[in-house]
Amino acid sequence: MRVTIADVAREAGVSKTTVSRVVNAKGEVDGATAARVREVIAQLGYVPSSGAVGLARGSSRTVGMLVPSLTWPWMGEVLQGVVDTVEAADYGLLLFTCNRGAESVRRFTGQVSARAFDGLLVVEPENTLDHLTALHRGGLPIVLIDDRGHHPEFPSVVTTNREGGASAARHLLAAGRTRPLVVTGPRHFGCVRDRLDGFRAALPTDLVVHGDFTERSGRLAVEQLLASGAQFDSVFAHNDISAAGVLRALRAAGRSVPDDIAVVGFDDIPMAEHTEPPLTTVRQPTRRMGETAARLLLSHLGGTPVPDAPVVLPTELVVRHSAP
């Protein structure tokens, strides 16, 4: 059944006239009320009729953000960077997730058609890059956060994944570690390839287990390698969650960290300070990634040309007790 303007008004607790004013960016509507109406529009998947889509004649002063899920460990920091920047510019934010797969994408596409927002920030959900590229070619301003090596034709903000992997390797090598195990993320991600290539360029190793960024994959990698009798004196895990699984497996096996085996992660999510022992890791500037992407998009909406090349932010090695 088609969602109507009356449905939106009832759910938002406002009149149909107020909804119409928000949709068409006409008349005075309190900012908080307008934000609530737009949120309900997104939740219900309301698509105004062509006669109601007055937003085409002006600006909604709203930015959309599309993400795979809010459960990703570093998503909160990225989102906070976006919110701080967008709100400071007196814009609103509509947040879309892909928790429900194709249904989520359909609802999101409906909001694009309704011109509910002026531009889009994206942490790319799986298998959506072609769709996003088509939207960009159709005139929707888009900035991608963490392009995972996909190099889209629209602007993106990335970090130095290759150098991050190399910095982890150099640190382990300086500590006398020469037999490293690497636990990667999904191998089809460009950032995973970059981290592995950077690490191997500084500290060659053939002891590589391909994981999926989960705690379980880090734990199983270590359990399997120890059971096989493989010898390693250090582990570089491609994110902090899998590094936590590495630490758990080593502790269960009676191996001392860092005396027997040193461990380095990647990301520096808040949990990294509170593992046992605290985790040495490669910090990604996740909040700054959100801030930078939001500034790029807002500048573009203001008429400033965006850079052709990705904006690259540096990673940083953070040394703690797991690999001093």
| Residue pLDDT tens, the chain, 324 long | 567 888 888 999 998 888 878 876 666 788 888 888 888 888 887 766 433 444 444 567 899 999 988 888 899 999 999 999 999 999 999 999 887 777 777 778 777 766 778 999 999 888 788 888 888 888 889 999 987 767 788 899 999 999 999 999 999 999 999 999 999 999 988 899 999 999 999 999 999 999 999 999 999 999 999 999 999 999 999 999 999 999 999 999 999 999 999 999 999 999 999 999 999 999 999 999 999 999 999 999 988 888 878 999 999 999 999 999
pTM of the model: 0.79
Angstrom distance (rounded) from CA 16 to CA 1: 19
Six-digit token pair at 89? 């510019």
Query: Is-contact 135 291, C-beta < 8 A?
Result: no
Angstrom distance (rounded) from CA 132 to CA 142: 8
Half-sphere exposure in the Cβ direction for 98 (13 Å, CA): 17
Which residues, listed in sequence order, are joined to residue 317 by a DSSP beta bridge? 282
Angstrom distance (rounded) from CA 34 to CA 127: 32
CA of residue 187 relative to chain centroid, distance: 17
pLDDT of residue 153: 86
How many C-beta neighbours within 10 Å does residue 33 have?
16
Alpha-carbon dihedral sign for residues 225, 228, 230, 233: positive
Sheet holding 92-97, edge to edge: 92-97, 62-67, 119-122, 142-145, 156-159, 311-313
CA 274-276-281 angle, 5° bins? 65
Query: Is-contact 171 198, C-beta < 8 A?
Result: no
pLDDT of residue 92: 92
Six-digit token pair at 238? 């491609």
CA distances from 123 to 37, 78, 84, 229 (A): 24, 9, 17, 40
258 preceded by a cis bond (ω within 30 of 0): yes
Say how many Å lie between the first and final Cα of the chain, rounded: 61
pLDDT of residue 1: 58
pLDDT of residue 3: 76
Query: Is-contact 67 97, C-beta < 8 A?
Result: yes
Angstrom distance (rounded) from CA 91 to CA 252: 50
Query: Is-contact 273 320, C-beta < 8 A?
Result: yes
57: three-class secondary structure by DSSP: helix
How many C-beta neighbours within 10 Å does residue 35 have?
16
Angstrom distance (rounded) from CA 102 to CA 109: 10
Half-sphere exposure in the Cβ direction for 62 (13 Å, CA): 27
Q: Which residues contact 176 (CB under 8 A, 6 or more apart)?
A: none
141: three-class secondary structure by DSSP: coil
Angstrom distance (rounded) from CA 295 to CA 102: 30
Angstrom distance (rounded) from CA 192 to CA 198: 10
314 preceded by a cis bond (ω within 30 of 0): no
